[in-house]
A and B are shown apart, each in its own frame.
Chain A
Amino acid sequence: MKIKVIINGEKKVLDIEPHEILLDVLRRYGYYSVRRGCDTGMCGICTVLFDGKPVPSCSVFAARADGHEITTLEGLPEAKEFAELLAEEGADQCGYCSPGLIVNTVYLKKLKIKKMDEAKIKLIGNLCRCTGYEGQHRAIAKFLGVEK
């Protein structure tokens, strides 16, 4: 089937199977920042914005996106600023989890979160096996302008 989607601001017509998962379709169309970590909605690595809100793309059927808007890391201009903060802390190791974390954190910036604890609650679904989180928290605190 064909679906019409706005991806990163561009109108696209995508050819999909009815049961295909959004994550797979996005990768097939070259959005490689979208990666599969767990496939059960737990790791947050596949996070994209669906109509502006962070969702795990492994848990959304692509067909649902027909008529809706998707933003991946590639389409988030604010991503670079946060990425640089993470890099400065050395808070990226393998980097595999980073896109999901960045998409979700950039969204949090819009929520004007005031406390680190609140940010952590909203980021609990972004797992990382390499860094032990502390370095990420140092970078997140800087990016959101909250106390660590």
Chain B
Amino acid sequence: MLSFKSYIKPKNIKEAYDLLQNNNAEIIGGATFLRLSNRKVDLAIDLIDAGLDYIKDTEENVEIGSMVTISEFEENPILSNLFNGYLKNVAETILSFQMRNIITIGGTLYPKYGFSDLITALLVLNTDIYLYHSGKISLEEYLKTKVHKDILEKIVIKKEKLKATFHYIRNSEYDFSILNVAVSKGKKVKIAVGARPGVATLAYKAMEYLNKNGLNENNIKEAAKIAAEEIVFADDIKTSKEYRKVVCEALVRRALLEVM
């Protein structure tokens, strides 16, 4: 059980940040994962009323406040139409509708959960993270950076002409992915693999191979092999690293063929 001595809903991010610095405190996004932990914390800082649930559509970008729930990818017309419904399709398979109604973008990205489908999907787009204290950082960099006691304010996704696709393998449809793969093709090809079970990563060597040699069926086969070799897999309760490796090759190949 997670227990708090008090629960505060600050009215803006500055107030939230200050409270976080000066207390044994925890930020609450959707609370879905947080509440499964077993800890005693003095203060819960709930961002629900902090004005972070905005979606801004500009010429070049879409800005998504950290308290936007992931069901907005299905329901909000701006988000659901991005990249031809790519993000909508990803979001719709995550967990359940009820949970998507509370799970936030901030709570999904900030803790870098390995099983996350959305992180993998966003990694092949041009996605930037804005942290209240540390400022702007690309998602790719963020995943490699240790951040402490900061607050994720918003994410910004660059609008580009991209073809993107997402593949996953789950045994039950209603389960975590035991491997997920996202691929995008704009000027260059990007390949991300997540639920390895470690957090998503780009398949740099495979990307380089394709960006050098071009997208065709043979190269795709080769790139899929390279990806499965370069990425580090591990065992967990859901499956073995050997299985992940074999399936990674198949999913990367399928995804690439789709954007070819």
A–B contact via C-beta, under 8 angstroms: yes
Question: Given contacts A18-B44, A124-B173, A124-B174, are A47 and B98 in contact (CB under 8 A)?
Answer: yes
The A43-66 residues at the B interface (CB cut-off 8 A) are 44, 47, 50, 53-56, 59-61, 63-64, 66
Given contacts A40-B36, A61-B46, A64-B46, contact A19 B99 (CB under 8 A): no
Please give, as numbers and ranges, the residues of chain B lying within 8 Å of A63 by CB-CB distance: 7, 9, 44, 46
User: Among the listed A60, A121, A122, which residue makes an inter-chain contact with B31, where contact means beta carbons less than 8 Å apart?
Assistant: A60
What is the CB-to-nearest-CB distance from A15 to chain B, in angstroms, rounded to a whole number?
Answer: 14
Q: Of the candidates B3, B36, B71, B98, which one forms a contact with A56 in the assembled complex, judged by CB atoms under 8 Å apart?
A: B98
Contact across chains for A55 and B6 when beta carbons are under 8 A apart: no
Q: Which of B89-97, B195-203, B204-212, B251-259 contacts A (4 or more CB under 8 A)?
A: B89-97
Tell me if B4 and A18 are in contact (CB < 8 A): yes
Is A123 on the interface with B (CB-CB < 8 A)?
yes
In chain B, positions 1-51 with a C-beta closer than 8 Å to chain A are 1-7, 9, 28, 30-32, 35-36, 44, 46, 48-49
Complex alpha-carbon distance, A122 and B2, angstroms? 29
Q: B residues within 8 A CB of A18?
A: 4-7, 44
Across the interface, A125 reaches (CB within 8 A) one of B1, B36, B174, namely B174
- Contact of A98 with B by CB under 8 A: no
Give the residue of A61, A67, A127 whose beta carbon is less than 8 angstroms from that of B44: A61
Q: Is B35 in contact with A55, judged by CB distance below 8 angstroms?
A: no
- Note all chain B residues with C-beta closer than 8 A to A94: none
B213 at the interface (CB under 8 A from A): no
Point out the residues of chain A lying under 8 angstroms from B174, CB to CB.
42, 124-125, 127
List A68-124 residues whose CB lies under 8 Å from chain B. Answer: 104, 121-124
Q: How large is the interface on B (under 10, 10 to 19, 20 to 34, 35 or more residues)?
A: 20 to 34
Tell me how far the C-beta of B135 lies from the nearest C-beta in chain A, rounded to whole angstroms: 28
Q: Is the pair B97, A125 in contact by a Cβ cutoff of 8 Å?
A: yes
A135 at the interface (CB under 8 A from B): no
Task: Say yes or no for A146: interface residue by CB 8 A criterion.
Answer: no
Residue in contact with B96 in the complex, picked from A44, A53, A60, A61, CB distance below 8 Å = A44
Closest chain A residue to B36 by CB distance? Answer: A40
The reply to whether A44 and B98 form a contact with Cβ atoms under 8 Å apart is yes
Which of B2, B4, B99: most chain A CB closer than 10 A? B99
Contact B95 A122 (CB under 8 A): no
- Nearest-CB distance from B101 to chain A (Å)? 5
Known: A55-B99, A59-B35, A63-B44. 15 other contacts (CB 8 A): A18-B5, A21-B35, A41-B96, A41-B99, A42-B174, A44-B98, A54-B101, A56-B98, A59-B30, A59-B31, A61-B31, A64-B7, A64-B9, A124-B173, A125-B95
A-B pairs, 8 with minimum CB distance: A125-B96, A63-B7, A18-B7, A19-B3, A122-B97, A18-B4, A19-B4, A53-B101
Contacts from B to A (Cβ < 8 Å): 1-7, 9, 28, 30-32, 35-36, 44, 46, 48-49, 71, 92-93, 95-99, 101-102, 173-174
Interfacial residues, chain A to chain B (CB-CB below 8 A): 1, 18-19, 21, 40-42, 44, 47, 50, 53-56, 59-61, 63-64, 66-67, 104, 121-127
Give 15 A-B contacts (CB < 8 Å), ordered by A residue.
Answer: A1-B7, A18-B4, A19-B2, A21-B35, A41-B95, A42-B96, A44-B98, A54-B97, A63-B44, A104-B98, A121-B92, A124-B96, A125-B95, A125-B96, A125-B99
